[in-house]
Every structure is written in C-alpha cells, then in structure tokens.
Homo-oligomer: A and B are copies of this chain.
C-alpha cells in the first residue's frame, strides 16, 4: 500500500470526480493547482490560497533548484515548511522551464545542461537529478523528466523526442525515492499524433506510474487539436489513476478537458493575469485597465466571495491597476484563483449529478457573452 490513491466517486461519460489521497491531505478532483513557482503563489498568503479552495499547489523544480537551491530547502525542513503550505505539493521536473527560460542548453542522452537565467551558472538536469531535487523538496507528486519538443515539429522529430522521453521516464521512475503517500507521475508525449500518444501511454504503463500526465499541449496547437489529442490519449490511460493535463488553461480549455476525462490542471493564467489587471468572470475575461470602469460603482462580480468583489468597486480596482499598486495584484490574483476554484467546484458537482454536458454548455455560453479576449 502506497497511501497514494484515487477514489472515483462519480462518472459522467469520460468525466469523473473523486478524491486523491496523499500523505498531506486530500485533493478533490477535477482539481486546479495554483502555481507556487518560487515557493510562493505570487501576491498571495498561503492561507488566502487555501481560502479560495485550493487543495494542492505546484512548485517549479527549475526555479527552486537555482534559487534558493534544493539542498538549502531540504536543510530548512522541506518546501512545505519553507513556504508555509502544509498541504499537497506537486513539482514538475524542470524540463519545460529549462527549454523556455535557461540559456546555452545542450541536450544529450544523459540530460540537459544549461545556464541559469538568474546568474549564468551552469547546471545539469538529468532524470536522476530531477528526482533527487524533488525528493529534497519533499514533493508529494513528482514528475518524470521529459523532453519538451518545440511546436510545431515534424512527426519524425516528435518520435525521436518521444523515444528519449520514454527512456528518461524509466530512469526517473528508477530514481524516484518512494515514501508513504508520495507519487511519481509519467508524462505522455507524442505531439498531436494519435499513434505516438497511444504508444507513449502504453510504454509508460509498462514502467508503471501512480498517475499519468499529458504533456506537450497548449503550446500553440489550438483548442480543437488539443481536445482531439486528449480523445486519442485518455482511452489508453488506466481508469484508476489520476490524469493531469499540464499547463492548461483558459476556463473553456479546462471545461473541455474535464469532459474528456482529465482530473488535474495547472496554469499560470489566473495568477499572471491578475498581476496584469485582468480578471476572469463568468462572462469572460475583463481588463480592469479599461477606462469604462473608472466610475463603475459595481463589484467586479456580484456573487463572488473574494475580497476584491466583497469590499471594492470596479472603479477602485481600475484605480489600483492604473496606479500600478501592489494591492491590484493581490486582489485580482485572489479573485482569479477564487474564480478558477469556483469553476472546478461547479464541474465536480455537475459530474456528481450526471449533468456535466448541460452545465458545461451553460458555462461556455456565459463566457461567450463578453466580447473581450481572455488573458494571454
């Protein structure tokens, strides 16, 4: 017995709702994981993040290994204690950020060497090092190191990359330091090629993981291709293990992915957009910088329980955004995380009541009311 388990309480077509048990508490699924990149959910106290309804955070191995360093965090009692979040944390492997942030990358069979974007220092991230770092952090759900190919890429390039990722997945699993209630997830790759996704899912199950992520999506392929890829992938994953769609997404992406059987999500949008003056609402994303809010005495959303909506007018939020006040980032991040957790709660209830299709349609139709494009 691992102590880590998914209990499915209800299904509705491919969608399911339930609870993941970990050593540090339960995660209601489908779940949205706010980003705690550098050991902080930006502009939020952990107690406030919890108030929004979050059961689990995501930490970034790349950022933490560079600053303050995984060994330092371990000496200080681990990531949970360091950042004062006693509940579950999932950490990525660092691979994606190395590809997008680091300098002078060199990819070999052994791993990827790179220069820190902070101080130019040289590092090697191998499957073994990625798992060692996640063990030092004390992560509850640890991700294998994979290669994230650029998009678009040819089928043969994707196939070559996938083969490397599968060899790294095996080495990651072998290096994973098992502990009661702790999990290691594999990552399905294969671009938008259905047969490669199926192959990847099958090969990962041969290695055997506690959960399965779908990686390499939301990189520019578009929502339709993403949904098609999910439909081609999810049937090849075991029903009794969590399924995690990495880096997704806008509310409409999440709704569609939940309907296709995904249990877990993470995305920078609610937090980053909040710092940019953008708010997610039931009627779509709005930009508080817009001059039409300057004299608007109404709350951002009438029925939202977050402090931005309870205590302030749109005019005040507009003022804070224009004045570049820190409180703008604090309040809009709080609102956006509240909105995302509200969405997950709505989806969980709809699945439990067997009416996901109708609820999803209603949610999507509400989003279409407002003409503004969501935060990018």
Binding site for B on A (CB under 8 A): 38-40, 42-46, 67-68, 72, 75-77, 82-84, 275, 294-295, 297, 307, 311-313, 315-316, 318-320, 322-323, 325-327, 329-330
Q: Are A316 and B45 in contact (CB under 8 A)?
A: no
Q: Are A77 and B297 in contact (CB under 8 A)?
A: yes
Q: Are B295 and A75 in contact (CB under 8 A)?
A: yes
Q: Are A322 and B39 in contact (CB under 8 A)?
A: no
Q: Are B326 and A295 in contact (CB under 8 A)?
A: no
Q: Are A313 and B42 in contact (CB under 8 A)?
A: no
Residues of B within 8 A of A67 (CB): 319, 322-323
Known: A319-B67, A326-B329. A84 touches B39 (CB 8 A): no
Residues of B within 8 A of A43 (CB): 326-327, 330
Q: Are B68 and A327 in contact (CB under 8 A)?
A: no
Q: How far is the CB of A240 from chain B (nearest CB, A)?
A: 37
> With A and B bound together, what is the CA distance between A44 and B48 in angstroms?
13
Q: How far is the CB of A36 from chain B (nearest CB, A)?
A: 10
**What 15 additional pairs, Cβ within 8 angstroms, besides A38-B325, A42-B326?**
A40-B320, A42-B325, A42-B327, A45-B327, A67-B319, A68-B319, A72-B294, A72-B295, A76-B295, A76-B313, A76-B316, A77-B297, A84-B312, A326-B329, A326-B330
Q: Are B316 and A82 in contact (CB under 8 A)?
A: yes
Residue from A82, A312, A316 having most chain B Cβ neighbours under 10 A: A316
Q: Select which of B44, B294, B307, B312 is within 8 A of A68 by beta carbon.
A: B294
Q: Are B40 and A72 in contact (CB under 8 A)?
A: no
Q: How far is the CB of A354 from chain B (nearest CB, A)?
A: 40
Q: Are A76 and B325 in contact (CB under 8 A)?
A: no
Residue of B nearest to A68 (CB): B319
Residues of B within 8 A of A39 (CB): 316, 319
Q: How far is the CB of A243 from chain B (nearest CB, A)?
A: 31
Q: How far is the CB of A213 from chain B (nearest CB, A)?
A: 26
Q: Select which of B40, B311, B319 is within 8 A of A327 by beta carbon.
A: B40
Q: Are A40 and B84 in contact (CB under 8 A)?
A: no
Q: Are B294 and A330 in contact (CB under 8 A)?
A: no
> With A and B bound together, what is the CA distance between A40 and B329 in angstroms?
13
Residue from A84, A327, A330 having most chain B Cβ neighbours under 10 A: A327
Residues of B within 8 A of A320 (CB): 40
Contacts A/B (CB < 8 Å), 28 sampled: A38-B319, A39-B316, A39-B319, A40-B320, A40-B325, A40-B327, A42-B327, A43-B326, A43-B327, A43-B330, A45-B307, A45-B327, A45-B330, A46-B311, A67-B322, A67-B323, A68-B294, A68-B318, A72-B295, A72-B315, A76-B295, A76-B297, A76-B313, A76-B315, A82-B316, A84-B316, A275-B326, A330-B330
> With A and B bound together, what is the CA distance between A307 and B330 in angstroms?
16
Q: Are A84 and B42 in contact (CB under 8 A)?
A: no
Residues of B within 8 A of A45 (CB): 307, 327, 330
Q: How far is the CB of A2 from chain B (nearest CB, A)?
A: 30
Residues of B within 8 A of A326 (CB): 42-43, 275, 326, 329-330
Residues of B within 8 A of A327 (CB): 40, 42-45
Q: Are A68 and B315 in contact (CB under 8 A)?
A: yes
> With A and B bound together, what is the CA distance between A195 and B166 in angstroms?
86
Q: Are A313 and B82 in contact (CB under 8 A)?
A: yes
Residues of B within 8 A of A75 (CB): 295
Residue of B nearest to A296 (CB): B76
